[in-house]
Structure 1
Amino acid sequence: MKKILSLVAGIVLTGALTACGNGTDEKVIKVGASPVPHAEILEQVKPLLEEKGYELEVVEFTDYILPNKSLEEGEIDANYFQHVPYLNAQIAEHGYDFVNAGGVHIEPIGVYSKNYSSLEELPEGATIIMSSSVADHGRILSLLEEKGLIKLADGVEKISATIDDVVENPKNLEFVADIEAPLLTKAYENNEGDAVLINANFALDAGLDPANDPIAVESPDNNPYVNLIAVKKGDESSEKIKALVEVLQSEEIQSFISENYSGAVIPAAK
């Protein structure tokens, strides 16, 4: 009987220690992020979260696949690198039970060219290089349609448009969409196409100036493309995730984004 009581006491004690461990972990927020600008922004967040009693750990990823895998496997509490259309596409493809905990900023896509200073100068049959990420195709094609280079089929939802939805292409532009987003800057530097459409975060990371180097830039009024904090469903209501989002959406951090990136990264409206 004494042995049984001792075993029960040991189990209770172990449970208490585990609970204490979880309590400590609840004060640590582990976020996966792209190096630029996401991780840079999170560095500014650290002291503000410390004031709220939380320690922020930033795990950097240089691709678009691993941050969601890491979140799914519980290696991080949240990730900060993607916009809503990409998140929705990943959920549909992999069955992730993720939600948007809050938007932070917008990164307008720019059109970069080594040989031409405007879209109007692009020649007949110009090669347009774009990301292999289908979630970005709608915004890229919408940008080209807005600039008068192509026309999409009537009734097509712009956010989900594909190359197959292009019904008018006066310059017979050739679209190349087999390059992963992080490698687009290499394609531009190697002058592999007449124009390359690059996400601002990768442009910044490569030392480009997304506010001045592109020959055309996407309008910032693209709310579906707000970069967000993604978490597992249910975690958006946890105190530490609410604290993280609150700080990221604070006037101090939104001002940092405006002042530090000069239009290359734009604070998102709450």
Structure 2
Amino acid sequence: MKKLSILLLTACIVLILAACGGNDKKEDENSVDQSDTKDKITFGATTGPYSDMVNKAIKPLLEEKGYKVENIEFSDYIQPNNALDNGDIDANLFQHKIYYEAFAEENNMDLSELIVVPTAPMGLYSNKYDSIDEIEDNSTITIANDPTNLARTLVMLQDEGLIKISDDVDPLTASVKDIEENYKNLKFHEIEAGQLPRTVDSEDLASVPGNFALAADFDLLDALALEEMPDDYRNRVVVNTKDIDASWAQDIKEVIESPEFEKIMDEEFQGFGKPEWMKK
């Protein structure tokens, strides 16, 4: 009887432990499921066209899928990635590939792009000339003094036949000193990118990045020329790498790839350059 009691007690303990283990496993499985699925998605975007893109194009299409969508606006290029890394938001939209990769490496963040979106391009603006052909010799032009926007400007000017960049230089890192031919003898004035819109009135030409052009209420289609930017310079939806395959993240990608999203782009965001995947 004593041996039988001990055996029964041991069996009970084993069953209790097994049940507890089963509950723990079930809780773990539920935890995984909850991280993969959501009923609310929180975006972060900088104030301006990309916040508008979330509100006018991405949000309504996700809401049709049953999500509740909140968009938090930021006024700088630092906090959207900090908020994403901290888990305060689920995804952000404001940055290109070169920026987010450098920021993530510098700040030890594990971020990944979900999909590239249409992006406002660099434009060549003038109140003096109505076309590229009208540009006169010795015209003045203001350009951005930061390396990325400066190189983009020079590539655009080369594409328009106004200059030639040395073949020995990567066009994406070119500077004024790398100009081999200046067919109109343009006079370059380098200034801070955010100040470029106001120089359209005082200079013959101004090369203005798309976000600053829109912030100054420019119509992109009024530009004498718009850049054909590489996809590396187009903005993208970025998420934490651990979430890249989550069902809600894939739903974001799906709505951006939809014909309905492209229709909104064509109607509400005229002049935005489309990424390569959208042109196929």
Aligned to 2:98: 85
Describe the SS at the equivalent of 2:169: coil
Q: Distance in 1 between matches of 2:162 and 2:151?
A: 14
Q: Distance in 1 between matches of 2:44 and 2:263?
A: 22
2:104/2:111 contact within 8 Å kept = yes
1:182-224: CA deviations, max 9, x gaps?
A: x432343xx243322223343234322111x11222236x333
Q: Distance in 2 between matches of 1:119 and 1:36?
A: 29
Residue correspondence of structure 1 range 21-170 to structure 2 within 5 A = 26-43=38-55, 44-91=57-104, 94=107, 96-170=109-183
The CA RMSD measured in Å over matched residues stands at 3.2
2:46/2:76 contact within 8 Å kept = yes
1:67-102: CA deviations, max 9, x gaps?
A: 334334443222112222333444465554322211
1:268 counterpart = 2:275? yes
Q: Distance in 1 between matches of 2:138 and 2:154?
A: 16
Aligned to 2:191: 178
| CA drift at 1:122 | 4.1
Describe the SS at the equivalent of 1:117: coil
Assess, with a 3 A threshold, how the Cα gap between structure 1 residues 24 and 170 changes in structure 2: closer, same or farther: closer
Describe the SS at the equivalent of 1:234: helix
Q: Which moved more, 1:68-77 or 1:244-253?
A: 68-77
What amino acid does structure 1 have at the position aligned with 2:209?
A: N
* TM-score, normalised with respect to structure 2: 0.74
Describe the SS at the equivalent of 2:220: coil
Q: Distance in 1 between matches of 2:139 and 2:107?
A: 35
Q: 1:216 aligns with which of 225, 236, 243?
A: 225
| CA drift at 1:252 | 0.5
* TM-score, normalised with respect to structure 1: 0.76
Q: Distance in 1 between matches of 2:142 and 2:106?
A: 24
Q: Distance in 1 between matches of 2:109 and 2:187?
A: 34
Q: Which stretches in structure 2 are left out of the alignment for 5+ residues?
A: 1-23
1:130/1:198 contact within 8 Å kept = yes
Identity %: 33
1:101/1:236 contact within 8 Å kept = yes
Q: 2:234 aligns with which of 226, 240, 249?
A: 226
1:29-58: CA deviations, max 9, x gaps?
A: 222223443222222322322333322211
Q: Distance in 1 between matches of 2:38 and 2:49?
A: 26
Larger Rg: 2
Q: 2:265 aligns with which of 234, 244, 257?
A: 257
Q: 1:243 aligns with which of 230, 238, 251?
A: 251
Q: 2:206 aligns with which of 192, 196, 201?
A: 196
